[in-house]
Amino acid sequence: MSWNSKEPRWHGENRTNADPASFVINGVEFDRLRYGEGEDDSDLPTCDDCGVPRGRRHVLGCDLEPCPRCSGQAITCDCFYEDD
């Protein structure tokens, strides 16, 4: 299993909750970072990928959502996300 493929990690229709407030990563629950809270977030008023305004959670699967565990890119980092 590789998280580095181009396949999106999440497929919204397969999840019971399309906008979870937290992720379970490697067995530990982490609050998701909102746009503007990530170290590498831009200064734009809305996310450059999913379009949410600052202070809101990214749309699930957004390229720019930081991983709350490793600060990498949530959709491609090496952390193990439990899906539900």
* Pairwise CA distance, residues 50 & 80, whole Å: 23
Closest approach of Zn ion to the CB of residue 57, in Å: 9
For residue 47, list its beta bridge partners. Answer: none
- The dihedral through the CA atoms of 54, 60, 64, 65 has a sign that is positive
> Could you list the residues that contact Zn ion (CB under 5 A)?
47, 49-50, 58, 62, 64, 67, 69-70, 72, 77, 79
* Nearer Cβ to Zn ion (37/49): 49
For residue 53, list its beta bridge partners. Answer: 46
Closest approach of Zn ion to the CB of residue 20, in Å: 15
Closest approach of Zn ion to the CB of residue 16, in Å: 21
* Nearer Cβ to Zn ion (11/72): 72
